[in-house]
């Protein structure tokens, strides 16, 4: 079994997609063992509790510095033997210490077709506002590995979503979630869990 931690900051719709996939088809030998939130009181924590998943809150302000925040996150992950980290609407940038501890084991979903509309400052509705402002006809979502460049890691999966003439940032955000994010993130997590399991078998 591959232990997965899902990192969240808000409502947790992508977390729900992962939970649903685990409960129906499974995650390729993966199990969501921890939901870590950067904010208390968010609905993602309720979703985790309903599914019987352990939760923990690590708040950057309370940690006092970015380094202390990273240290605390790393402690929560390593003390539970987490092997795969999935960022699902996690709004804090992970530092070098966490990234180096989990090389090619941290994945993120981004609501555009990287390299478009990504990098610092592009998150949530801002991504969809930029896509509509630019006038692109196709957008989508990308699941990628996390490295020290914001949205800069290798791409794992992408899916295109067409933009409708009357789209608003809100309608576009919803459609990208439903048609791309909720499909890609569980699929990528499953692929990686299968890969981790294979590597374990080869080592035995």
Q: Which residues are catalytic, by number?
A: 110
d(CA 164, CA 180): 15
Residue reference for tokens 């979503």: 161
d(CA 87, CA 85): 7
Tell me if residue 41 falls in helix, strand or coil: coil
d(CA 194, CA 71): 28
Structure tokens at 121: 């400052």
Is residue 143 within 8 A of residue 185, CB to CB? The reply is yes
Cβ neighbours, 10 Å, residue 162: 11
Pairing between β-strand 138-145 and β-strand 106-110 as defined by DSSP bridges: antiparallel
């Amino acid at each position: 079994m591959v232990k997965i931690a899902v990192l969240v900051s808000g409502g947790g719709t992508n977390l729900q997609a992962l939970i649903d996939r685990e409960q129906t088809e499974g995650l390729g030998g993966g199990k969501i063992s921890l939901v870590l939130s950067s904010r208390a009181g968010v609905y993602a924590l309720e979703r985790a509790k309903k599914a019987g998943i352990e939760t923990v809150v690590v708040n950057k302000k309370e940690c006092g510095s970015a380094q202390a925040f990273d240290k605390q996150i790393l402690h929560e992950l390593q003390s539970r033997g987490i092997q795969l980290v999935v960022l699902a609407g996690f709004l804090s940038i992970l530092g070098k210490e966490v990234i180096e501890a989990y090389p090619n084991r941290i994945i993120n979903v981004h609501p555009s077709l990287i390299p478009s509309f990504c990098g610092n400052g592009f998150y949530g509705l801002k991504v969809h506002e930029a896509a509509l402002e630019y006038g692109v006809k196709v957008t989508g979502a990308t699941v990628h590995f996390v490295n020290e460049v914001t949205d800069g890691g290798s791409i794992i999966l992408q899916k295109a979503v067409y933009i409708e003439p009357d789209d608003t940032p809100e309608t576009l955000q919803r459609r990208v979630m439903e048609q791309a994010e909720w499909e890609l993130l569980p699929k990528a997590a499953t692929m990686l869990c299968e890969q981790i399991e294979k590597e374990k078998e080869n080592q035995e």
